[in-house]
Amino acid sequence: MASCLLALIFMGCKKSDTPSQDLSDSQSAISKRTCGSYEVLQEQLKTDPGLQQRMDQIEAFTKKFIASERYRQTNSTVTIPVIVHVVYNTPSQMINAQQIQSQIDVLNEDYNDQNADRTSLPKNSFQNVESGGFNVHFTLAQAKYVKTKTKSFSTNDAVKYTKRGGDDVIDPQHNLNIWVCNLGQNLLGYAQFPGGAWPTDGVVILYSAFGSKAKYSGGTYIPTYDLGRTATHEIGHWMNLRHIWGDDGGSCSGTDYVDDTPNQASENYGCPTWPHISCNNNGDMSMNYMDYTDDACMYIFSQGQTARSLAVFASGGPRAVLAGN
């Protein structure tokens, strides 16, 4: 759709439909997926005395929700309005309408098990536990463009505050806020888990890892992370999913709180050959969106992850208001 037809949705969109491909200010040499969500959570637990209690309450509610199988008792679709804050310092960071829409399209495919590459699942691997879809629908509510003097942001949440060079959150109880910006520290993105403070609720993504080159080739992308799976991964955290290996430093003692994802020692990178065995399992679920593999090699959620995420939108859950519950 031409950008002029999106004028009522997109604020401040006065650029060319085809942005510059100059990645000189981006991290064009990122060799491994990097997500700052776990580290951000640890810092928030230190500074917010009530966060652990709120997360414990959410976990208790989630367990009851899954045990009751309430997620099987509804066919209603959860609509998730998305507000994209494009916080840019240079023209190449000012991604356009088509690149943003390509990301929304990827999310709707990935979260509803409609992505074409799900057929890449190795034979005799996880067919029996693959998600059949979350029955959620992401819709672009607004894209807001904000010029900043900040050359690069970090995990300190400055991008979420106008006074710190970013842009303030917009009605987080009713919207998923995504900040798209230039991230430092070799980060592709990070998210806030349910239970965190509302002013910082949402997801942050490196601008050149947002959107899909396969769906819109005219955008500004970083190699290897150009299929929109960084946002799929980070929104998984926003929907209460943990890293599949449990962030335990390779000890096989951690958990992602999901029963049907095998325990694995640590993150997988690149495109592992199946099966990669660790923690005495029959093979890591390395193709899961919550691992660290390349965009082209992550393409499934599990049924357990689906149930866990749907708990956040259920009546009594931390994002129930967004779902109208």
- Backbone φ and ψ for 139, nearest 5 degrees, come out as -135, 135
The residues, ordered by sequence, that sit 6+ positions from 123 with a Cβ below 8 Å of its Cβ are none
- Angle at 217 (CA atoms; ends 106, 179), nearest 5 degrees: 50
Q: Catalytic residue among 109, 130, 234, 267, which?
A: 234
Q: For residue 207, what are its two tokens? A: 């601008």
Fill in the DSSP letter of residue 175.
Answer: S
Q: Give the type of residue at 34.
A: T
Rounded to an integer, what distance in angstroms lies between the CA atom of residue 56 and that of residue 102?
36
Rounded to an integer, what distance in angstroms lies between the CA atom of residue 301 and that of residue 131?
5
Give me the residues paired with residue 136 across strands.
78
For strands 10-11 and 78-88, give the pairing.
unpaired
Q: Are 192 and 239 in contact (CB under 8 A)?
A: no
Q: Are 132 and 113 in contact (CB under 8 A)?
A: yes
Rounded to an integer, what distance in angstroms lies between the CA atom of residue 178 and that of residue 83?
6
- Backbone φ and ψ for 85, nearest 5 degrees, come out as -100, 105
Rounded to an integer, what distance in angstroms lies between the CA atom of residue 218 and that of residue 16?
11
Active-site residue, 267 included: no
Q: For residue 69, what are its two tokens? A: 């199988």
- Angle at 29 (CA atoms; ends 270, 146), nearest 5 degrees: 110
Quick one: residue 7, left, alpha or beta (phi over 0 = left, psi -120 to 50 = alpha)?
A: alpha
Q: Write out the catalytic residue numbers.
A: 234
